[in-house]
Amino acid sequence: MEANGSGAVVTPVIDVNICSGCGRCVAVCPGKGITLETIKFHKNAVITHPELCTACSLCAEACPIAAIHR
């Protein structure tokens, strides 16, 4: 979620084994690149549009169970 040495934006990674599907990350994402999807009968946050990531870290900060990492 921050620029790496090459200047490219490093998108966050969501651990679907931890994600509770609360949707807080979806609500705070300014680029609207995260959505909730149902995976094996369980809602999970998924980064559907990584190109919209602004590297702001709001999604990781909003996650109450630390399921989102850089």
CA distance 9 to 2: 5
Please report whether residue 46 resides in a domain.
Answer: yes
How many structural domains are present in the chain?
A: 1
What pLDDT sits at residue 23? 97
Residues with Cβ < 8 Å from 17, sequence gap 6 or more?
Answer: none
In terms of residue numbers, what domain contains 62?
13-69
pTM confidence score: 0.84
Buried residues in 41-62 as b, exposed as e (16+ CB within 10 A): eeebbbbeeeeebebeebbbeb
What pLDDT sits at residue 56? 93
What pLDDT sits at residue 1? 43
Cα dist. 60→32, 36, 41, 70 in Å? 14, 15, 24, 8
For position 41, which CATH number holds? 3.30.70.20
Q: Which of the residues in the chain have pLDDT under 70?
A: 1-8
